Amino acid sequence: MKPSILRIALLGLSILGISLLHYLTPLHLHYMHDIFQRFYYLPIILAALWFGFRGGLACALVVSVVYAPHILFQWGGGLALEMEKYLEIVMYNVVGSVTGLLAQRERERSLELQRTAEGLEESFNKLQIQSERIIAIEEQLRRSEKLSTLGEMAAVLAHEIRNPLGSIRGTAEILRDDYRPGDPKHEFIEIQIKETERLNHVVEDFLRMARQQPMELRDCSIREEVETIVTLVAKDAHDRGISLCFEPSQEQAIVRGDGEKLRQAFLNIVINALQATPPGGSVIIVLTRLESGFELCIRDSGSGISPKNLHRIFEPFFTTKPDGTGLGLAVTRKIIEGHGGTLHIESKAAAGTTVSIRLPAQEFTA
Ligand SMILES: Nc1ncnc2c1ncn2[C@@H]1O[C@H](COP(=O)(O)OP(=O)(O)O)[C@@H](O)[C@H]1O
Ligand SMILES: [Mg+2]
């Protein structure tokens, strides 16, 4: 049963009950009648609170109609004598309508307040979403600005550094042959060669960022690119005592993109994972199909990243490795975002790291 019908039934019953008290109580118990007379206010006020002005008035009228015959016929209808009782009937109607009016106005006001609150909440949510979007775009802008100045610098530097570096390395190799292994000078020259190699890496990383040429878009298979990388680093992983495994999806996972760049991005992450993982640990690569693309997760059981470092790892040149360039993740994120994808890193110190790359499937980037 609907609550309003229940309420009406309750009001009807209480009016009936009070009226029966009036009609059945002998007239000489007039003080009882005085009390019963006030009982009527209960249903009238309730009706006004529940159903507003119209409810209050309707209930007061019903009470008047039911109560009037009692005054007229049982009390004799002497106007002067029963003045007070008729006045009570007027009071029923006044109380019913005024209470109803007030209750109704109160309800309307609280409804309006509720609507305003809802509207406010909605605009607050919208505002929040918009400001988050603005912050994200600003961040992206700052990053690309940083990377593009870096890129220009890199192009100039690379040319200036690479050639002399080649000569230093070449001549050092020739000099090394003059000394037998074990000779301190042989060691020094080894160090020299290793350091030039490192410098060369830095320059190459720089160059990769500097290359602003448009991507060569082809259909490429994430699965194949990852398989190539796994073959490439398998020996390194084995030497480090790390178990490396790839769980590909059933399909090729075709995306529209630059295969070479994507491979570079995946490789950067796999190398980071191997470098962070101690012997006996594992690096697991999982490729899964999503509703609108693919997800490649690279999970390692390595050292993890402290919360302090976590928000700095994408900064160019941020590195915690003695021989790191700090460019790997910056380049990687640029590549992934250039493909319309996202790169997400979750990590806790000493609990390993999971890097998730999401790329849209080929049919969604047309
Ligand atoms: N899988 C990982 N586990 C722990 N730390 C990581 C991992 N990947 C990246 N890092 C942290 O992020 C830093 C930046 O990485 P990256 O940009 O590739 O530069 P680099 O490898 O040359 O240091 C690393 O120095 C390391 O501190
Ligand atoms: Mg790296």
Given this model, what pLDDT does residue 78 score?
Answer: 65
Residues 170 and 300 in one domain: no
Task: Compute, in degrees rounded to 10, the torsion defined by CA atoms 62, 66, 67, 70.
Answer: 170
Residues 203 and 226 in one domain: no
What distance in angstroms lies between residue 282's CA and the mean position of ligand 1's atoms? 17
Which of 285, 308, 329, 334 best tests ligand 1's pocket when mutated (most atoms within 8 Å of CB)?
Answer: 329
User: Closest residue (by CA) to atom 19 of ligand 1?
Assistant: 326
Tell me, what CATH number does 191's domain have?
A: 1.10.287
| pLDDT exceeds 50 at position 9 | yes
Residues 267 and 179 in one domain: no
Tell me whether residue 122 is in a domain: no
Given this model, what pLDDT does residue 147 score?
Answer: 66
Question: End of a domain among 210, 237, 261?
Answer: 210
Identify the residue with better confidence: 324 or 230. 230
Q: What average pLDDT score do residues 110-138 get?
A: 92
Tell me whether residue 205 is in a domain: yes
Tell me whether residue 138 is in a domain: no
Q: Is residue 365 very low, low, confident or very high in pLDDT (cuts 50, 70, 90)?
A: very low
| pLDDT exceeds 90 at position 27 | no
Residues 172 and 38 in one domain: no
Percentage of the chain beyond pLDDT 90 is 56
d(CA 212, CA 227): 27
Residues 230 and 346 in one domain: yes
Q: Of 3-7, 199-203, 231-235, which gets the smallest average pLDDT?
A: 199-203
Q: What average pLDDT score do residues 315-336 get?
A: 88
d(CA 149, CA 164): 24
| pLDDT exceeds 70 at position 137 | yes
Q: Is residue 189 very low, low, confident or very high in pLDDT (cuts 50, 70, 90)?
A: very high
Proximal ligand: closest to the CA of 331: 1
Place of tokens 């390395």: 169
d(CA 48, CA 55): 5
Given this model, what pLDDT does residue 364 score?
Answer: 45
d(CA 171, CA 175): 6
Rg (CA), the chain: 42
Residues 228 and 354 in one domain: yes
Supply the pTM of this predicted model: 0.54
Tell me whether residue 132 is in a domain: no
What domain count does the chain have? Answer: 3
List, for residues 57-94, the tens digit of each pLDDT value: 999 999 999 998 888 888 775 666 678 888 889 999 99
Helix/strand/coil (H/E/C) assignment for every residue in 220-262 = EEHHHHHHHHHHHHHHHHHHHCCEEEEECCCCCCEEEECHHHH
What distance in angstroms lies between residue 328's CA and the mean position of ligand 2's atoms? 4
Cβ burial 24-63 (10 Å sphere, 16+ → b, else e):
eeeeeeeeebeebbebbbebbbbbbbbbbbebbbbbbbbb
Tell me whether residue 125 is in a domain: no
| pLDDT exceeds 70 at position 151 | no
- Calculate the average pLDDT of the chain: 88
Tell me whether residue 71 is in a domain: yes
d(CA 317, CA 336): 19
Question: In one letter, which amino acid is 220?
Answer: C
Given this model, what pLDDT does residue 152 score?
Answer: 67
Tell me whether residue 127 is in a domain: no
Q: Of 116-130, 152-166, 319-333, which gets the smallest average pLDDT?
A: 152-166
Residues 196 and 91 in one domain: no
Given this model, what pLDDT does residue 138 score?
Answer: 82
Residues 186 and 268 in one domain: no
Residues 268 and 290 in one domain: yes
Q: Of 50-54, 175-179, 209-213, 295-299, which gets the smallest average pLDDT?
A: 209-213
* SS3 at position 200: helix
Q: Which of 143-152, 175-184, 236-245 has the highest mean pLDDT?
A: 236-245
* SS3 at position 355: strand
| pLDDT exceeds 80 at position 285 | yes
What distance in angstroms lies between residue 322's CA and the mean position of ligand 1's atoms? 11
Q: Is residue 198 very low, low, confident or very high in pLDDT (cuts 50, 70, 90)?
A: confident
Can you give the residue range of the structural domain that contains 31? 3-116
Question: End of a domain among 210, 238, 265?
Answer: 210
Task: Compute, in degrees rounded to 10, the torsion defined by CA atoms 110, 111, 116, 121.
Answer: 100
Tell me whether residue 240 is in a domain: yes
What distance in angstroms lies between residue 201's CA and the mean position of ligand 2's atoms? 11
